Amino acid sequence: MLSQREREQGGEFAPLWQALDQLTDPEIPVVTLREMGILRDVRRGADGRVEVVITPTYSGCPAMEQIAGDVAATLRAEGVEGRVVTQLAPAWTTDWMTEAAREKLRAYGIAPPRCGAASAGEAVIQFAIKPRASRADQTSASSLFDTQYPVTCPLCGSTHTTETSHFGSTACKALYRCLECMEPFDHFKPI
């Protein structure tokens, strides 16, 4: 099944898609909104006006106001009478990120989420951390926060890493430390 974007690439919205494809995530400027899966659709609304659909990575994401403003400014710059529509359902998932986004995150020093995390049975929303038995090489705090799969250090490639804080530089990231190169890094949380 073709996405709306794929159906419209050769159609009336092709120039607008090209312009929108230049917009980057305000918090992670190396990836575009399209690569992150935030930019969902360009369509005609019931009133005939162009609608650009965006979906936040997290509810309450502070970057969404900036993203909506950037999209609206792009519409104006392209001479398009339109509006930005924030769509919350279906909820954004890290599975919507492109492989290009994952590679760009890694090169930028952010460990990307594992591909297919949402479809692999991991919880979309986790209200409380499930305690797990500690391994000999973990502190009790790190055993509570570590993900169910190894997070690869984007700096040296080691999987000998530990989560030091479930809260990183933004709400969508956790803070990790590599136990090989000893450098801290962000990990984009799988949703």
Q: What are the residue boundaries of the structural domains of the chain, listed by start?
A: 4-86, 96-188
pTM beyond 0.85, yes or no: no
CATH fold of 4-86 reads GMP Synthetase; Chain A, domain 3 (3.30.300)
Name the amino acid, one letter, at 81.
Answer: E
Round to whole Å and give the CA distance between 188 and 191.
9
Residue 130 pLDDT class (50, 70, 90 cuts): very low
Average pLDDT, the chain: 83
Q: Is 7 exposed, middle or buried, given 0-12, 13-18 or 19+ CB atoms closer than 10 A?
A: exposed
Name the amino acid, one letter, at 144.
Answer: L
pLDDT of residue 60: 81
Q: Which residues contact 66 (CB under 8 A, 6 or more apart)?
A: 26
